[in-house]
Chains A and B, each alone.
Chain A
């Protein structure tokens, strides 16, 4: 994938660039907002990674200009800790996601992948979602595996739904908190871990295999048997 990274920090920029390259992406790193804007207007990128505070033109203005020019490339903002309200401002300017510094690299990678898929998949949602031998019905809120009904409580169902829709992609703890619990703060207790272990007890244990894999220090990935 082709990514544009706008980040003026001397070490964070190259570090991000290197990490994304190693993950198999083509990366253009910019340290000036104007240069990034010109590049994003002229070339096709899959995802834009924009820092809020950069010289020349800040990330917010860059994206606003792009959206006005009908450039719909998905964008993710990187914001410094101090600017909690940035989230709203960033989404209003046309951003698709945001990430607060300091962030885990795996978190950035996972979110970039979500953005790319979201762009390609474009809401072809039906009420029945199937992955491997697991099927959920979004209307009836019911779940079956190998034809056997699995009884899930509302949060477990939502969790499974998120996993099914992001098959094979890493879901970080914070991503799950946002999507399943609508929590934008970090509950210091093991909310995510607990619910996942309960879901596993119902969806894996009776069938004697593993569909949700734990990726240490990052999150979880849903990998149903083909």
Chain B
């Protein structure tokens, strides 16, 4: 229980950080005080040793002069020792006391001379130093722990805010935001996460709307189809009227139309996923427009409308030609379907900019963004056919090509003008 709690605590990065600081400060403190202690005691010993050497010289001189051993201080010791005592400096504890004595032994013509000095005062100084070190160490550990815990607690609280915010998002509440106060890297990160969530929320909402549009758009023809087949089955069973080939043919046609919608939606999804960009090649817009005009010119003519094409400084762009054909084809189809009777559909190509204008009712400003979504059911289009998937395919293809797509009014505020501005081909 305790161990698992400790383990959990140790997993928090703030606690780890605090522990690290604690170790670091303790180490610094130990090194600083230990170094001072070492340097001070070495210096003190050197002073004592120098004094002993001076005294040794003076004592030998006094012995040589026949004056005997002189002791000027209660701390000072002097005497002769036998051969068992080693020459040089040594430190010895005095029996029964805590005092320490530093000895110097030298052979003289008078015998083995030993001088000593009680180092009690140095000892005291060292004790004071050691005490100071302990107090400082304790204070360092205590204060660092306190500070560490405070910092850990604070950043943990902030992290908890982020983490609980993310948990809410993970549970499906895309409206949840972290909204972390403050002005540091963590709040910056939280802002980024909030931005991402907001984008996600928009996309998901859009997708929900799209799915319901799709469901709506497919349900109506399915219902019609069902009714039709049911009527025919009844007619067949009750033999009250002959079932015509036309009835079944029209059912098949409706299935084909549904399949076509499905296919267009899948194509849209594929283009939106960015697939196909690797099939890009250099395409000359002039040739491509001419090709599509060859195909659609007669169709427009048969519909009693006119196709007016003008190209100026046409350039090449990097593109998937099949998608480009579809883009232009969809624009012409859209103009055909929603334009006015006997209108002129104009296609203009200026450099990399393609403009298709019809003379229909146009699309109101507030609806323009919406008609680029698949199967959008706008107020304006509710009576007639919807915009289907055509314009959203145009949008997706434009996006894939990095082209700017804009819808605007035609000349004199009449009709719809669609402009697709492709990026210029940069020579490698």
Contact = CB atoms under 8 A, between A and B. Distances in A.
Main secondary structure of the interface of A (DSSP, over half): loop
A207 interface: no
Interface string A161-189: 00000000000000000000111111111
Interface stretch (A11-19, A53-61, A190-198): A190-198
A217 B251 CA distance: 11
B222 interface: no
B252 A191 contact: no
B83 interface: no
Interface in B307-329: 322, 325-326, 329
Contacts of B337: 189
Nearest to A82: B266
A182 B260 CA distance: 18
A1 interface: no
Given A187-B333, A217-B249, A81 B298 contact: no
Contact of B322 (A85, A184, A198, A217): A184
B192 interface: no
A161 to B, nearest CB: 15
B277 interface: no
Contacts of B267: 84, 185
B302 interface: yes
Interface in B230-246: 245
A154 B292 CA distance: 12
Contacts of A81: 259, 262-263, 266
Contacts of B296: 189, 191
Interface string A148-164: 00000111000000000
Given A82-B266, A84-B267, A186-B260, A198 B298 contact: yes
Given A183-B325, A217-B249, A153 B333 contact: no
B253 interface: yes
B227 interface: no
Contacts of B302: 190, 194, 197
Q: Which of B255, B302, B337 has the most CB of A within 10 A?
A: B302
Contact of B298 (A102, A182, A195): A195
A216 interface: yes
A100 interface: yes
Contact of A216 (B249, B275, B299, B388): B249
Interface string A76-107: 00000110110000000000000010101000
B266 A84 contact: yes
A184 to B, nearest CB: 7
B294 A155 contact: yes
A208 B390 CA distance: 40
Interface in A96-126: 100, 102, 104
User: What size tier do the contact residues of chain A reach?
Assistant: 20 to 34
B270 A84 contact: yes
Contacts of B329: 183, 187
A182 B326 CA distance: 11
Contacts of A217: 249, 252-253
A191 B291 CA distance: 13
B295 interface: yes
A122 to B, nearest CB: 29
B104 interface: no
B154 to A, nearest CB: 52
B336 interface: yes
Nearest to A173: B256
A155 B295 contact: yes
Interface in B60-88: none
Nearest to B323: A185
Contacts of B270: 84-85
Contact of B263 (A100, A155, A194, A197): A100
Interface string B217-231: 000000000000000
A82 B263 CA distance: 8
A182 B292 CA distance: 11
A191 B299 contact: yes
Nearest to A101: B259
B230 to A, nearest CB: 20
Interface in A128-154: 153-154
Nearest to B260: A186
A191 B295 contact: yes
B337 to A, nearest CB: 8
Contacts of A187: 329, 333
Given A100-B263, A184-B322, A189 B252 contact: no
Interface string B365-397: 000000000000000000000001010000000
Nearest to A188: B333
B294 A153 contact: yes
B299 A194 contact: yes
B1 to A, nearest CB: 53
Contact of B260 (A155, A188, A195, A216): A188
B278 to A, nearest CB: 12
Contacts of A186: 260, 263-264
Nearest to B256: A104
B88 to A, nearest CB: 94
Nearest to B299: A194
B47 to A, nearest CB: 91
B209 to A, nearest CB: 22
Contacts of A198: 298
Interface in B337-367: 337
A179 B388 CA distance: 26
Nearest to B389: A188
Interface of A: 81-82, 84-85, 100, 102, 104, 153-155, 181-191, 194-195, 197-198, 216-217
23 contacts: A81-B259, A81-B263, A85-B275, A154-B294, A155-B294, A182-B322, A183-B322, A184-B322, A185-B263, A185-B267, A185-B322, A187-B329, A188-B260, A188-B333, A188-B388, A189-B336, A189-B337, A191-B295, A191-B296, A194-B299, A194-B302, A195-B295, A217-B253
